[in-house]
């Protein structure tokens, strides 16, 4: 593994046991991503994008193969150790936002820091909310926010722990064009400011085009892996 | 830690109204536990007070000789109160009628009775008796027989006594004693003047003792046996009297323990179904927390903190509600109570209920909360968590299930005070749990496999809800099924016990006894009684006899040799035996076989001996006893040993001979009648005694009434506790159905968004709840029938009764309740605009 690789995936396989027998949804996928780089994962629905992303972020266990994330061998860690890695190094943005409905916007943003037992982190949270343009909504609950606003809160939450790598699963999939556009600007803007490595799953070719690399999945296997000419 | 508390607090903030709904279930469960426990304590206390009234004291100490100074000093030193009594038979003269009659004299002194009341007619008589002087209170039959009135004189020994009243009811007397001879109560101080003191044969001397609070009579008995080994003392306690009343009181105890146990499990069902639903709702939040790097332990701790707070708050509120019910309910039902029960808040019951409630809350909430540890972060990516195939069983889960089982069994043993019974309760519950769990899985499986495609859409959806991810099949079948099982078991046991108690009561039992009827008087006497409106319902010949020898050793030798181990009274007494061809309805052979007819020439006569006597005399089947039947020797052997229900008023006997042996011996008869009212009783007595002056009548009406009073109290206790627990159980079950309503909200809303009408949505829910409700009710009902049979057989020792109609009605009731509650719960969901809920739930 090269020194500067942030994420290295080797022969990654995921098989689900289903009522109708085992179902392999990811088949020996391999790639490597250096620190600070950005990569889009594209492919038809059901091709295994979310599965791959979830495995890379340590949200699930692979059936075979290995993942190195920020210098740690994910497949050799147990669930709680992976939770620590997620908390220290990973940010995650979901297609359906996944804010905790019972917490205010600010509280949602602060969860990763408070999980570590950090105190006095409120200013940091407000600063990030300011950065995503929602300082005024800090005390609102998710139900009081629009989809775009919720996703911006989710992005603020993903950046609060200064992650080394940010995973986004169709971050704009639930947003309209304009809102999606400003969301994309925010993602790349924050990414650049903080030197974060970025992996995102998208159907949006404009968004994919702004990444340095595009990984195509088909039926759970890597179909192609290419550099984009006009990478941001 | 800081994060955990902060998160627990913040997370609870927004869902507090819903949390309130859940805590309602917890509160109901614990309130049930507390108020049922407290009511049980009330009822136990009321029955105990009544039972104390049977004896009138905590302890009787009786001896065939005057109790010496050491004994009386010891009794005095106990710190309670002591009364004395001396009893003997003597002739009483009735100068006005110029007649004599054998009476049982009771010379009394002191404040007895300490519990219950000495009732007389007129009411003031006991006070005058205590004040002393030559006064006497007589058995009412004597007044009737000799036409005496208050103020008339009777003569005992050499002294004239003024009649001051008639006995109505006096604690301490057992009906058997009342049957021996009519009673006459005089002050102890007046005894000396009669010249009878000290001369009478077979006198008994008794101290009636009231013990200071908290002193255990059995402990006193043990100590006295140690201190005075040489004095032949016999003891009687309230507990013993209760035992003599038959199984009714012991069974009440068992029943109340069962009630407590059922309350605990109902509480557990309330708590766990609420928390289970709550945790399910929190899966998404936990998954997000996990994605953000919370460890399994941290997310578990967040919800554990909430669960604990819920449990503690629920326990406090439940305790308070329990007290409120305890305070409020009696006021509501007081007018309807057939008897008076003092309702009070039993603090021990409150503490125990709340304590048990917290423990149960903790254990039952740990179970659903444990699954929080296993919510994968992936659940944030895919909302429906796929079934986790091949996941190793969680050792913690097993440990908690084991502790719940241990806690329940421990509580059951604690409640019942008997290891076998407690474990039996817990085992029954475990069995029911297993059956229902199996059923739940079978139902889910069948719903997946066998629902015909031809059915209407809503019906298929309803069935599909039984097996789809996030289904409530297991939870509802378990809570409803177990609830039905327990509540219905309780109800059936109630019926079984009430039937038994009714059988013990006075209805259809003789309440007037005539004895000393001569051989040639019995038939004309029956005709007189019939003519007076109360026919004889039972008659028995009585042959008096004494024991000549036991197992070949003569009575003289046995008496001379104190070490023989046979109590004197068994050897000296005059036995009033009967002969007949069959057992009476109050008797049951416990050993050997009853022989109804014997040939006097064919060896020793097989006789049936009463259980208690057999124990005292160490008699076994085949032992020989020689009888002296008024000069004629009769050799017998013990052919059978009988248990006799002495509490029943029919003439009962220590020894029953077969027909064919004693017919020629001099005999008298005893006849039993049923009279409808005291006036009827007086009329029959007068008619009979007028014609046959030698015949004695004993009116058992009041004795029977006393016993009936106790039995009606027991019956009330059983009835009240059963119905109260059943009602509570239904509320808890309704709560269990209600708490799960949010689980289906999203789907329902989505269906509505897709154009389903409210009717369709409601029908889908109806099908789901109807299937679950019916299955739970039917299986719970079957389990209850089995439970009732087992309890009747092994705990209450009486035949089980279960009416098909009752079971069917209860089963239908539970099914309807489930559907109705499910329907009402669903309405809230159906009536909301979908948009609002969609936004809330995302
Ligand atoms: N828990 C599971 N059990 C069985 N199959 C699953 C499970 N989760 C996902 N799959 C299957 O894996 C495949 C890939 O899913 P996913 O990674 O979500 O695709 P994408 O994100 O590219 O649309 C799909 O065909 C899906 O049906
Ligand atoms: Mg996907």
Query: Mean pLDDT of all residues in chain B?
Result: 80
B289 CB neighbours in chain A (<8 A) are 100, 111, 115
Residue B484 has pLDDT above 80, yes or no: yes
Cβ of B6 and A114 within 8 Å?
yes
Instruction: Report the pLDDT averaged over residues B59-82.
Output: 87
pLDDT tier, B185 (very low <50, low <70, confident <90, very high otherwise) = very high
Residue B610 has pLDDT above 70, yes or no: yes
Instruction: Report the pLDDT averaged over residues B609-619.
Output: 87
How high is the pLDDT of residue B817?
Answer: 83
Which pLDDT tens digit goes with each residue over B499-510? 777 666 556 677
d(CA B739, CA B733): 10
Element (H, E) at B788: helix B758-791
Residue B30 has pLDDT above 90, yes or no: no
More confident residue, B473 or A232: B473
Q: Give the 3-state DSSP-derived string for B60-85, with helices as H, strands as E and coil as C.
A: EEEECCCCCHHHHHHHHHCCCEEEEE
- Tell me whether B842 touches chain A (CB under 8 Å): yes
CB atoms within 10 A of CB B85: 20
Residue A207 CB contacts under 8 Å (≥ 6 apart), including other chains: A40, A172, A180, A184, A200
Report the b/e string of B207-217 with b at 16+ CB within 10 A: bbbbbeeeeeb
More confident residue, B250 or B641: B641
CB of A202 within 6 A of ligand 1: the answer is: no
Mind telling me how many Å the CA of B292 is from chain A's nearest CA? 6
Which pLDDT tens digit goes with each residue over A123-133? 999 999 999 99
Instruction: Report the pLDDT averaged over residues B167-185.
Output: 70
- Hey, is B262 helix, strand or coil? helix
Q: How far is CA B159 from CA A211, B81, B134, B153, B203, in A?
A: 127, 30, 8, 10, 19
- Tell me whether B448 touches chain A (CB under 8 Å): no
What backbone phi and psi angles, to 5 degrees, belong to B696? -105, 140
Mind telling me how many Å the CA of A119 is from chain B's nearest CA? 9
Cβ of B291 and A97 within 8 Å?
no
Report how far ligand 2's centroid is from the alpha carbon of A94 (Å): 10
- Hey, is B517 helix, strand or coil? strand
What backbone phi and psi angles, to 5 degrees, belong to A172? -110, 5
Q: Which atom of ligand 1 is nearest to the CA of A49?
A: 22
CB atoms within 10 A of CB B226: 8
CB atoms within 10 A of CB B134: 16
**β A213-218/A197-201 pair status:** unpaired
By residue count, chain B amounts to 842
Residue A3 has pLDDT above 60, yes or no: no
Tell me the DSSP string of A108-141: HHHHHHHHTT--S-HHHHHHHHHHTT-GGGTT--
Mind telling me how many Å the CA of A102 is from chain B's nearest CA? 5
More confident residue, B823 or B770: B770
Report how far ligand 1's centroid is from the alpha carbon of A47 (Å): 8
Element (H, E) at B672: strand B668-673
Cβ of B11 and A50 within 8 Å?
no
pLDDT tier, A10 (very low <50, low <70, confident <90, very high otherwise) = very high
CB of A2 within 6 A of ligand 1: the answer is: no
Residue B830 has pLDDT above 80, yes or no: no
d(CA B759, CA B766): 10
How high is the pLDDT of residue B741?
Answer: 63
d(CA B828, CA B821): 11
Residue B616 has pLDDT above 50, yes or no: yes
- Hey, is B208 helix, strand or coil? strand
CB of A20 within 6 A of ligand 1: the answer is: no
Is residue B704 within 8 A of residue B673, CB to CB? The reply is no
Residue B753 has pLDDT above 60, yes or no: no
Percent of chain B residues past pLDDT 90, beyond the cut: 9
Which pLDDT tens digit goes with each residue over B108-134? 998 888 888 888 888 888 899 988 889
Instruction: Report the pLDDT averaged over residues B201-207.
Output: 79
Is residue B581 within 8 A of residue B606, CB to CB? The reply is no
CA B557 to chain centroid, in Å, comes to 46
How high is the pLDDT of residue A42?
Answer: 94
pLDDT tier, B177 (very low <50, low <70, confident <90, very high otherwise) = very low
Q: Which among B10, B285, B839 has the least Cβ separation from residue A107?
A: B10
CA A104 to chain centroid, in Å, comes to 22
Which pLDDT tens digit goes with each residue over B297-322? 888 888 888 878 877 887 788 888 88
How high is the pLDDT of residue A2?
Answer: 47
How high is the pLDDT of residue B103?
Answer: 85
Residue B120 CB contacts under 8 Å (≥ 6 apart), including other chains: B126, B137, B165, B166, B167, B168
Which pLDDT tens digit goes with each residue over B778-799? 999 999 999 888 888 888 878 8
Which pLDDT tens digit goes with each residue over B364-374? 778 777 877 77
Q: Which among A16, A86, A102 has the least Cβ separation from residue B13?
A: A102
Residue B842 has pLDDT above 50, yes or no: no
Is residue B417 within 8 A of residue B384, CB to CB? The reply is no
Residue B841 has pLDDT above 60, yes or no: no
Mind telling me how many Å the CA of B372 is from chain A's nearest CA? 13
How many Cα atoms are found within 13 Å in the side-chain-facing hemisphere of B614?
A: 26
Q: Which among B291, B386, B389 has the least Cβ separation from residue A86?
A: B291
Q: Which atom of ligand 1 is nearest to the CA of A169?
A: 21
How high is the pLDDT of residue B88?
Answer: 85
Q: How far is CA B241 from CA A172, B35, B58, B716, in A?
A: 84, 29, 11, 20
CB of A16 within 6 A of ligand 1: the answer is: yes
d(CA B636, CA B690): 39
**A23 in any annotated domain:** no
Phi-psi region of B610 (alpha: psi -120 to 50; beta: other; left: phi over 0): beta
Mind telling me how many Å the CA of A223 is from chain B's nearest CA? 24
Q: How far is CA B27 from CA B272, B327, B352, B718, in A?
A: 12, 17, 15, 25
CA B434 to chain centroid, in Å, comes to 29
Q: Which among B14, B296, B840 has the least Cβ separation from residue A79?
A: B296
pTM of the model: 0.67
Which pLDDT tens digit goes with each residue over B289-298? 888 888 888 8
Residue from B311, B324, B332, B313 nearest B350 by CA: B324
d(CA B24, CA B313): 10
Rg (CA), chain A: 17
Q: Name the residue range of residue A217's domain.
A: 37-60+85-227
B298 CB neighbours in chain A (<8 A) are 115
- Provide the terminal-to-terminal Cα distance of chain B, rounded to the nearest Å: 28
CB atoms within 10 A of CB B93: 16
**CATH number of the domain to which A147 belongs:** 3.40.50.300
pLDDT tier, B646 (very low <50, low <70, confident <90, very high otherwise) = low
Residue A28 has pLDDT above 80, yes or no: yes
What backbone phi and psi angles, to 5 degrees, belong to B832? -75, 145
Residue from B717, B728, B726 nearest B780 by CA: B726
Element (H, E) at B633: strand B632-644
**A156 in any annotated domain:** yes
Instruction: Report the pLDDT averaged over residues B685-696.
Output: 82
- ipTM greater than 0.85, yes or no? no
- Joined together, the tokens standing for residue B418 give 């008997």
How high is the pLDDT of residue B216?
Answer: 87
**A32 in any annotated domain:** no
- Tell me whether B839 touches chain A (CB under 8 Å): yes
How high is the pLDDT of residue B625?
Answer: 92
Q: How far is CA A125 from CA A24, A83, A194, B197, B765, in A?
A: 41, 21, 16, 102, 44
How high is the pLDDT of residue B387?
Answer: 43
Tell me the DSSP string of B305-359: HHHHHHHHHHHHHHHHHHHHHHHHHHHHHGGG-SS-------HHHHHHHHHHHHH
- Joined together, the tokens standing for residue B217 give 């009579």
d(CA A213, CA A9): 15
Residue B752 has pLDDT above 70, yes or no: no
Q: Which residues pair with A195 in a beta bridge?
A: none
Percent of chain A residues past pLDDT 90, beyond the cut: 49
Chain A residues in contact with chain B using a Cβ-Cβ cutoff of 8 Å:
16-18, 50, 54, 57-60, 79-80, 83-88, 90, 92, 94, 96-103, 107, 111-112, 114-117, 119, 141-143, 157, 161, 169
Q: Which among A50, A83, A115 has the least Cβ separation from residue B381?
A: A50
Residue B283 has pLDDT above 60, yes or no: yes
Where is average pLDDT lowest: A149-163, B326-340, B802-816? B326-340
Which of A18, A41, A46, A98 has the highest number of chain B CBs within 10 A, making it the mutation to test binding with B?
A: A98
CB of A48 within 6 A of ligand 1: the answer is: yes
How high is the pLDDT of residue A129?
Answer: 95
d(CA B739, CA B102): 74
d(CA B101, CA B694): 9
**A68 in any annotated domain:** no
Total domains, chain A: 1
d(CA B254, CA B261): 11
How high is the pLDDT of residue B756?
Answer: 64
Nearest ligand atom owner, CA of B385: 1
CA B392 to chain centroid, in Å, comes to 46
**A198 in any annotated domain:** yes
**A188 in any annotated domain:** yes
- Tell me whether B392 touches chain A (CB under 8 Å): no
d(CA B104, CA B698): 13
How high is the pLDDT of residue A229?
Answer: 76
**β B81-94/B99-109 pair status:** antiparallel
More confident residue, B172 or B469: B172
Residue B351 CB contacts under 8 Å (≥ 6 apart), including other chains: none
Residue B533 has pLDDT above 90, yes or no: no
By residue count, chain A amounts to 232
**A11 in any annotated domain:** no
* Residue having the nearest C-alpha atom to atom 27 of ligand 1: A46
**A12 in any annotated domain:** no
CB of B386 within 6 A of ligand 1: the answer is: yes
How high is the pLDDT of residue B647?
Answer: 56
């Amino acid at each position: 593994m090269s020194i500067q690789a942030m994420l290295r995936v080797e022969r990654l396989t995921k098989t689900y046991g289903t009522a109708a027998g085992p179902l392999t949804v990811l088949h020996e996928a391999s790639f490597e991503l250096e620190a600070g780089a950005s990569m889009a994962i594209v492919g038809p629905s059901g091709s295994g994008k979310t599965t791959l992303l979830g495995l890379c972020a340590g949200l699930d266990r692979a059936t075979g193969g290995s993942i190195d994330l920020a210098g740690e061998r994910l497949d050799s860690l147990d669930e709680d150790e992976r939770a620590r890695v997620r908390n220290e190094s990973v940010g995650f943005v979901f297609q359906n936002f996944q804010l905790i409905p019972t917490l205010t916007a600010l509280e949602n943003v602060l969860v990763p820091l408070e999980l570590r037992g950090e105190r006095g982190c409120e200013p940091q949270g407000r600063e990030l909310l300011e950065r995503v343009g929602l300082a005024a909504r800090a005390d609102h609950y998710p139900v009081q926010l629009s989809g775009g606003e919720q996703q911006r809160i989710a992005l603020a939450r993903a950046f609060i722990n200064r992650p080394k790598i940010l995973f986004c699963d169709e971050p704009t999939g639930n947003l309209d064009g304009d809102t999606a556009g400003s969301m994309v600007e925010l993602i790349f803007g924050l990414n650049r400011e903080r030197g974060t490595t970025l992996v995102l799953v998208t159907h949006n070719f404009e968004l994919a085009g702004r990444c340095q690399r595009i990984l195509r999945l088909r039926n759970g296997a890597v179909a192609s892996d290419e550099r984009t000419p006009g990478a941001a | 830690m800081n994060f955990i508390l902060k998160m627990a607090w913040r997370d609870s903030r927004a869902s507090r109204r819903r949390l309130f709904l859940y805590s309602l279930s917890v509160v109901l469960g614990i309130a049930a536990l507390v108020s049922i426990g407290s009511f049980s304590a009330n009822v136990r206390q009321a029955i105990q007070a009544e039972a104390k009234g049977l004896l009138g004291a905590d302890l009787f100490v009786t001896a065939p000789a005057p109790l010496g100074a050491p004994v009386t000093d010891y009794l005095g030193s106990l710190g309670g109160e002591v009364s004395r009594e001396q009893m003997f038979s003597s002739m009483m003269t009735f100068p006005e009628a110029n007649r004599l009659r054998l009476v049982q004299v009771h010379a009394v002194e002191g404040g007895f009775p300490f519990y219950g009341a000495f009732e007389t007619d007129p009411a003031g008589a006991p006070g005058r008796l205590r004040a002393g002087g030559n006064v006497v209170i007589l058995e009412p039959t004597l007044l009737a027989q000799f036409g005496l009135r208050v103020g008339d004189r009777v003569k005992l020994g050499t002294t004239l006594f003024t009649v001051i009243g008639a006995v109505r009811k006096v604690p301490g007397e057992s009906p058997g004693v009342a049957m021996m001879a009519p009673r006459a109560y005089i002050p102890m101080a007046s005894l000396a003047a009669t010249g009878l003191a000290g001369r009478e044969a077979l006198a008994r001397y008794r101290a009636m003792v009231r013990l200071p609070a908290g002193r255990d009579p059995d402990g006193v008995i043990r100590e006295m046996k140690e201190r005075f080994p040489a004095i032949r003392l016999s003891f009687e306690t309230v507990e013993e009297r209760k035992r003599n009343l038959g199984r009714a009181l012991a069974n009440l105890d068992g029943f109340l323990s069962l009630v407590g146990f059922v309350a605990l499990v109902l509480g557990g069902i309330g708590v766990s179904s609420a928390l289970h639903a709550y945790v399910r709702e929190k899966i998404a939040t936990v998954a997000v927390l996990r994605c953000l790097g919370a460890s399994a332990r941290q997310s578990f701790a967040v919800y554990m903190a909430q669960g604990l707070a819920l449990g503690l708050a629920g326990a406090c509120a439940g305790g308070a509600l329990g007290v409120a019910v305890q305070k409020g309910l009696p006021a509501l039902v007081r007018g309807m109570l057939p008897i008076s029960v003092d309702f009070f808040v039993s603090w021990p019951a409150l503490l125990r209920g709340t304590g048990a409630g917290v423990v149960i809350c903790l254990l039952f909430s740990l179970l659903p909360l444990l699954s929080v540890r296993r919510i994968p972060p992936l659940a944030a990516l895919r909302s429906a968590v796929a079934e986790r195939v091949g996941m190793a069983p969680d050792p913690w889960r097993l440990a908690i299930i084991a502790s719940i089982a241990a806690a329940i069994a421990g509580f059951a043993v604690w409640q019942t005070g008997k290891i076998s019974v407690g474990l039996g309760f817990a085992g029954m519950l475990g069995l029911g749990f297993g059956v229902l769990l199996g059923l739940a899985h079978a139902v889910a499986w069948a719903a997946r496999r066998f629902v015909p495609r031809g059915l209407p859409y809503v019906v298929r959806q309803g069935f599909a809800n039984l097996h789809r991810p996030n289904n409530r099949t297991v939870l509802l079948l378990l809570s409803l099924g177990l609830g039905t099982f327990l509540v219905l078991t309780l109800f059936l046991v109630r019926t079984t016990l009430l039937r038994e108690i009714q059988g013990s009561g006075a209805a259809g039992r003789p309440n007037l006894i005539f004895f000393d009827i001569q051989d040639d008087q019995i038939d004309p006497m029956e005709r007189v009684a019939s003519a007076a409106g109360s026919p004889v319902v039972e008659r028995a010949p009585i042959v008096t006899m004494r024991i000549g020898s036991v197992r070949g050793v003569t009575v003289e030798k046995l008496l001379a040799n104190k070490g023989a181990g046979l109590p004197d009274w068994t050897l000296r007494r005059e036995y009033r035996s009967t002969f007949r061809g069959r057992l009476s309805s109050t008797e049951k052979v416990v050993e050997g076989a009853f022989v109804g007819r014997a040939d006097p020439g064919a060896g020793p006569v097989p006789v049936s001996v009463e259980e208690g006597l057999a124990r005292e005399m160490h008699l076994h089947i085949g032992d020989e006893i020689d009888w002296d039947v008024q000069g004629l020797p009769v050799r017998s052997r013990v052919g059978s040993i009988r248990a006799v229900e002495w509490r029943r008023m029919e003439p009962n006997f220590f020894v029953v001979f077969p027909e064919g042996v004693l017919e020629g011996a001099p005999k008298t008869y005893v006849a039993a009648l049923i009279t409808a009212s005291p006036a009827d009783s007086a009329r029959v007595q007068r008619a009979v005694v007028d014609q046959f002056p030698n015949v004695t009548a004993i009116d058992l009406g009041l004795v029977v009434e006393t016993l009936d009073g106790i039995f009606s109290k027991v019956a009330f206790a059983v009835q009240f506790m059963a119905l109260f627990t059943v009602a509570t159980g239904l509320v808890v079950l309704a709560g269990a159905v209600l708490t799960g309503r949010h689980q289906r909200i999203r789907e329902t809303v989505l269906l509505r968004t897709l154009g389903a009408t409210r009717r369709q949505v409601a029908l889908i829910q109806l099908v789901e709840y109807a299937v679950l409700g019916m299955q739970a009710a039917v299986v719970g009902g079957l389990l209850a029938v089995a439970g009732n049979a087992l309890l009747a057989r092994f705990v209450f020792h009486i035949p089980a009764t279960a009416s098909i109609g009752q079971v069917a009605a209860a089963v239908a009731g539970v099914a309807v309740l489930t559907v109705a509650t499910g329907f009402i719960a669903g309405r809230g969901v159906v009536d909301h605009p979908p948009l609002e809920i969609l936004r809330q739930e995302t």
